[in-house]
Amino acid sequence: MDSPTRRSFIRQAACAALGASGLVSTIWDLRKLCAATLSDATDYKALVCVFLYGGNDANNVIIPHDDAGYASYAAARGVLAIPQLSLLPITFLDGDTRDFGFHPKLPELQSLFNQGKLAMVANVGTLVGPITKSDYLSVGAAAPPKQFSHADQSVQWQSSAPDHTNSGWGGRIADLLNSLNRNSSVSLTISVAGTNTFEVGNTVVPFQVSPVGNFALAGFNGSANANIRLQAFKELLAQPHNNLLEQAYADRVTRSIADNDILAVVPAFSTAFPNTDLGKQLKMVARFINARGNLGMQRQIFFCSVEGFDTHSGQLAAQSGLLSELSQALAAFYSATVDMGVDQQVTTFTASDFGRTFTTNGVGSDHGWGSHQFVLGGAIQGGRLYGTLPTLAIGGPDDTGQGRWIPTTSVDEFSATMASWFGVAASDLSTVFPNIGRFAHPNLGFLS
């Protein structure tokens, strides 16, 4: 099993390499479209991606709760089976009579689901086009390349392209709608989790900030003399530099100073958040949303992440801790959006490299394919399960081996639903998602 440090290195190296990769042929130059799109819109909306790096085992997120379904689940999962009596029952608000429960470490998400603020989209995954088991087993099937590679699948998830491209679907949305933030000096895309493919546009460059904010230069305390020295330093940085390393240093420090100045107008946020990595990230996101007026922003796209879901071993304990962190942080963030009066305007969603095998390797699970994702917010038609759950049977119609489920909903369909809500016109969806025309449901209906 890769360590988080090694996975982070591989992921960031893959993202950096995208700049040298060729564009997918059907992705247009979005710079030609930016100025013409929604230039008169006056509303505010935000998308928040929470990426679960490593491949979350969603087979243990939503579990059959009835006796017969649970017995089949437990027989296949073996040592990974969550005890039936510990499952958190969920109530479907659309009359669905199926009996499921959430993992016992998701009480906050159980409550949001039962309130209609949270929904789950079943069996989502990277696809080139719709595919059946017989298609998959045939020679030359149109399956995503490098299916079980962390780096490649996280990039495909974030780019919504079957081949490497130099942009992500969030970045391409930002290219289209960037004119809405025409009075802002901050990028439409903001990452509190470092480098990612999702937010990279053809023209928009992500703004990166740590969960606790940028760090100011030492020795500049705001006094008159310090400000004189800071201005002199800025002027030195602005001078032309013949050495490439010197110029790169000057550019980076200049941008960092400007970024720190921006954070000075992003106020602290009073809503309590858990003191976890994801809790800190989402608290910073809440600060930026709260400062949207001061920053002149009508659209914002955020990226957060949690590492550690590559549970080849020690899965029960590791995933329990990770899901608890996820549940508590998402609940705190939703509460913050309610406090700010923007819960209808902020949609948060999870994503992950891939799912995991239904069968156990004895101490954990291995790399899979389709997985289930959460969507959260006031505009969500919650308390529902969207898409189609796989048949939970080894060797069944959705199993490519060991319980690696063929996705029944594509990343394109899942993401395009949010893009449409965010303001991307139907005529522009194929620009953001070059394969969307191959799928039957460009809008899954989970957003009002």
Residue 270, pLDDT above cutoff 90? no
Segment 223-244 shows an average pLDDT of 90
Segment 167-172 shows an average pLDDT of 98
CA distance 84 to 324: 18
Task: Kindly provide the b/e burial profile for residues 352-368, where b requires at least 16 CB atoms within 10 angstroms of the residue's own CB.
Answer: bbbbbbbbbbeebbbbb
Say what the pLDDT of residue 252 is. 77
End-to-end CA distance of the chain: 41
The pTM of this model reads 0.88
Say what the pLDDT of residue 221 is. 74
CA distance 326 to 331: 8
Cβ 432 vs Cβ 425: under 8 Å: no
Segment 435-442 shows an average pLDDT of 96
Q: Which residues contact 420 (CB under 8 A, 6 or more apart)?
A: 426, 429, 442, 443, 447
Q: Which residues contact 52 (CB under 8 A, 6 or more apart)?
A: 305, 306, 309, 322, 326, 350, 351, 352
Confidence of residue 28 (pLDDT cuts 50, 70, 90): very low
- Tokens at 91, concatenated: 């109530």
Instruction: Tell me the pLDDT tens digit for each residue of 89-120.
Output: 999 999 999 999 999 999 999 999 999 999 99
Say what the pLDDT of residue 113 is. 98
Confidence of residue 215 (pLDDT cuts 50, 70, 90): low
Say how many C-beta atoms besides its own lie within 10 A of residue 203's C-beta. 15
Instruction: Tell me the pLDDT tens digit for each residue of 56-78.
Output: 999 999 999 999 999 999 999 99
Q: What angle do CA 291, 297, 302 make, to 5 degrees?
A: 80
Q: Which residues contact 265 (CB under 8 A, 6 or more apart)?
A: 291, 294, 295
Question: What count of Cα atoms within 13 Å lies in the side-chain half-sphere of residue 300?
Answer: 30
Confidence of residue 8 (pLDDT cuts 50, 70, 90): low
Torsion sign, CA atoms 301, 321, 124, 384: negative
Confidence of residue 13 (pLDDT cuts 50, 70, 90): very low
- CATH 3.40.720 at 45-212+267-438, yes or no: yes
Domain boundaries along the sequence of the chain: 45-212+267-438
Q: Where are the beta strands (DSSP E) in 234-379?
A: 299-306, 346-352, 371-376
Confidence of residue 322 (pLDDT cuts 50, 70, 90): very high
Say what the pLDDT of residue 413 is. 98
Pick from 91, 57, 52, 99: nearest CA to 76: 57
Instruction: Tell me the pLDDT tens digit for each residue of 175-200.
Output: 999 999 988 888 999 999 999 999 99
Instruction: Tell me the pLDDT tens digit for each residue of 43-52.
Output: 999 999 999 9
Beta bridge partners of 47: 301, 347
